[in-house]
Amino acid sequence: MKSALHFLVAARQCEIGELEQLMRTSTLVNLLGRFIHALQKERGLSNIVLASAGARGSEARAAQIAECERIAREVRDGFDHLDTTAQRVGQGARLFSRIAYVLQGLDALPALRERITALAIGPEAATAAFMKLVVGLLAVVFEAADSATDPEISRLLVAMFNFMQGKELAGQERATGVAAFGTGASDPQRQQHWLHLIESQERCFQVFAEFAPAVPLALWHEAGTADATLAVIERLRRVGCTAPAGAPLDTELSETWFDAATRRMDAMQIVETQLATDLLQQCENKIADARTTLQAQQALLEALPPSPQAAGPDASAFFESAAPAEPPAASFGPHLDRSVLELVQDQSQRLQAMQGELETVRAALNERKTVERAKGLLMARRQLSEGDAHKLLRQTAMNQNRRLVDVAQAVLAMADLLPPAPPAEH
């Protein structure tokens, strides 16, 4: 008959298996971060080419495409090494469907590049196309964060996801500025979108700061003091966002803006790399600690007499205080300095504490899912853009002095009352 200790050992083995899966997922997240960074740069260079009608940026774009292709091969290899046994992967259905979506995007990328080379697509459309792939990659990161079962690793994944999302918005801002300066004109709609990107970045970085460990947070604060780069960015933001409708913009500022925005994003990449390093180190430490504990429990198991049920702990001790003033005496002999009951109590209390911490961390992810669902509903039912849907939610929250997530929940609750989208015109 198996004893409680047998199941404690099995529980620890399951925990190690989950941590090893998290380690593989975290390695993939690190790789996806590098790939997203490379795609973001390719997107900006593509906009330089398109906005200048091929006069600028072609050589740099070709080199960046080669870099993206190199990392894309690593990403595909990383996907291949994931454990696709659905029963053993948290949120497996959602994670694997996100990966399938990304692989479709990777297959479609060469055709997009050909259209850009042929100048058969505009800067805004090219930006939107790259965004679709990057958003798919970020969704994989989100599912990894949402499926983490260890609170400390979950905190790191939440910090990393929000930082990567903020960095992607910074990349979209870079592409928007390149398009505005490259074409020599801005307009009110583009300016509103530009301002929305700036504001959205700040929200992501605020969540990152809430969950990030000390070293990446210090690097982020250090990046925020790079006065020369930030001064150029702020000056060109004012030029691009406040120019009167129809007023010409200096096309020479396109590459000046791109270079400054790229320096800012490269500084972000340093922070992201540190986050990835901390994430992998945390996984390694957790696995090492769990294995050490497993060895100790296995040693206890081997020391059990042939019939542990006959020499087991006094059953009445089960109903004693959960935290006795003195540790109970060893029940399987003097060489066992901790009873099985104490191990069970420690394991139960540790898992309960972990669950409480995990729920706190996941609240940030759940709020994001609620807001995104509400935005999607408004976009579908009211034919709004993503920026306008978010603006409507934010403005309603301000007017009613409520949290954004509370307004989003109210919108979802009234989904059946919202008018359907008007039929498409033919």
Span 270-300, pLDDT tens digits: 999 999 999 889 889 988 988 888 888 788 7
The answer to which of 31-45, 181-195, 220-234 has the lowest mean pLDDT is 220-234
Q: How far is CA 114 from CA 119, 126, 136, 405, in A?
A: 9, 11, 21, 41
How many C-beta atoms surround the C-beta of residue 259 within 10 A?
A: 12
Q: Is the separation of the CB atoms in 169 and 204 below 8 Å? A: yes
Distance CA 238, CA 181 (A): 12
In the chain, % of residues over pLDDT 90? 27
Backbone angles phi, psi at 185, to 5 degrees: -155, 145
pLDDT of residue 111: 96
Question: Per-residue pLDDT averaged across 290-316, rounded?
Answer: 66
The answer to pTM > 0.75 is no
CA-CA distances (angstroms) from residue 425 to 1, 274, 338?
A: 72, 50, 75
Residue 105 has pLDDT above 50, yes or no: yes
Q: Rounded to an integer, what distance in angstroms lies between the CA atom of residue 6 and that of residue 2? A: 6
What pLDDT is stored for residue 345 in this prediction? 58
pLDDT in tens, 320-335: 545 444 444 334 443 3
Higher per-residue confidence, 314 vs 270 = 270
The predicted model gives 160-170 an average pLDDT of 90
- Is the distance from CB of 226 to CB of 142 less than 8 angstroms? no
Q: How far apart are CA 404 and CA 66, in angstroms?
A: 42
Q: Name the band, by pLDDT with cuts 50, 70 and 90, for residue 223.
A: confident
Residue 146 CB neighbour total at 10 angstroms: 20
- The string of DSSP codes covering 222-283 is HHTT-HHHHHHHHHHHHHHHHPPTT-B--TTHHHHHHHHHHHHHHHHHHHHHHHHHHHHHHH
- What is the second-level CATH architecture of the domain 365-418? Orthogonal Bundle (1.10)
Mean pLDDT of 188-213: 88
For residues 236 and 255, the answer to whether their CB atoms sit within 8 Å is no
Q: Look up residue 35 and give its two tokens.
A: 């790939």
To 10 degrees, what angle do helices 253-303 and 4-51 make? 170
- The domain locations on the chain are 4-288, 365-418
Question: Which residue, 53, 109, 99, is CA-closest to 78?
Answer: 99
Per-position b or e across 271-284, b if 16+ CB within 10 A of its CB: bbbbbbebbbebbe
Query: What pairs with residue 185 in β-bridges?
Result: 248
Cα–Cα dist 231/237, whole Å: 10
